Amino acid sequence: MHNRPLLPSAAFILILITGSASAIDSATLASSSLSPACLAYRVVGVCYWLRCTNFGCKVKTSQKIRHYVPDAVVSVYSNTGANPWREVALMSPVTPTAQGGGDSTVNQSHENTSLKFKNADVIGHPGTLLFSRFASQFGYSCAGAGKPFMPYLLSTSDTLAWRFNVPEMLYPEALIPGRREVGAMASGDLWGAIYPRGGFIQQPDDYKAAAVIAQRAGDVVTRRGQPHLYQPLLGKAHPGYWPAAELLESNASSGQWQRLQPDLSMTCVVFPQSGALPQAEDGAYAWALWRPYSCCKRKGQLFLRSTDWSD
């Protein structure tokens, strides 16, 4: 997936030379992780440990805390090869099987362009070290699953699933309206369906289209055994550590989104969100995917149990 030779086209080389009008760099992304609102640090319970020495055993306690971690940057963009995150654009060049992108047109002035195609890359957030120092100011902090600059999903490498919706076009979630959707038809705010989890979407609003594509990409990488070419973005539970579970749409307890492009927000939301939705002139967007982790400081050799305040 990551070892094939890079064969950029002339158009892609031009993009690299001129740069993207909405390009964002790693330093800006790292500093964006310093968000108390997205962190949402809380003490949620108590952990019990058994500590034994030559003089006997005692039960020790430590605080159980929960907070969000920026695991990855999810870039969603129309022009293949033009990831708005400048330093990683070379990871997803134009290839013989992944070239075009953008919107369809009906050539009718009274109709909006509705069918869109977006590329999506899920890459480990570059601010891990800076974020860890920031979170530690609030007390003990939990590690996330994301590794900086690690590619978890590159849609140009996931051609069959991302461009042809194979095999997900035949899944019940893709065939039955109302299943796994961002927003709802009943509320008049349906942004789009999660399935099939590919790059095509019927949505005239470019921001809403990109947000649904980001949700699809996050849905894939936070599960194992999906019919895509990707690496799972999942932590492994161990005594005193509870990693984030599968991402679910419109569910803040599974993950939240921080907008990075076309403008930077220092708060996190779930889709569908209210308020003004900024439109990117070049069709390029990026969000940080923040996911919730719980942990407690080890105080003994054996973890006994934990108690949440709500228990």
Q: Write the pLDDT tens digit of every residue in 7-21.
A: 333 333 333 333 445
Residue-wise pLDDT tens digits, 193-216? 999 999 999 999 999 999 999 999
* Residue 3 clears pLDDT 90, i.e. is over it: no
Reduced DSSP (H G I as helix, E B as strand, rest coil) percent helix, strand, coil of the chain, to 5: 20, 30, 50
Give strand ranges (E) for the chain. Answer: 42-53, 56-77, 102-103, 115-117, 119-124, 151-154, 181-182, 192-193, 200-202, 241-242, 256-261, 284-296, 302-308
Residue-wise pLDDT tens digits, 38-63? 999 999 999 999 999 999 999 999 99
**Which two structure tokens, joined as six digits, stand for 53?**
């020495």
Comparing 110 with 76, the larger pLDDT belongs to 76
Q: Tally helices (H) and strands (E) across the chain.
A: 7, 13
Mean pLDDT of 274-294: 96
Confidence of residue 22 (pLDDT cuts 50, 70, 90): low
Confidence (pLDDT) at 160: 95
Confidence of residue 223 (pLDDT cuts 50, 70, 90): very high
Give the three-state DSSP class for 43: strand
Measured CA angle at 159 (ends 158, 163), to 5 deg: 120
Task: Kindly state the helix (H) or strand (E) to which residue 129 belongs, with its residue range.
Answer: helix 128-136
Residue-wise pLDDT tens digits, 101-150? 666 544 444 444 589 999 999 999 999 999 999 999 998 999 999 999 99
Confidence (pLDDT) at 113: 56
Mean pLDDT of 271-289: 95
Predicted TM-score (pTM) of the model is 0.88
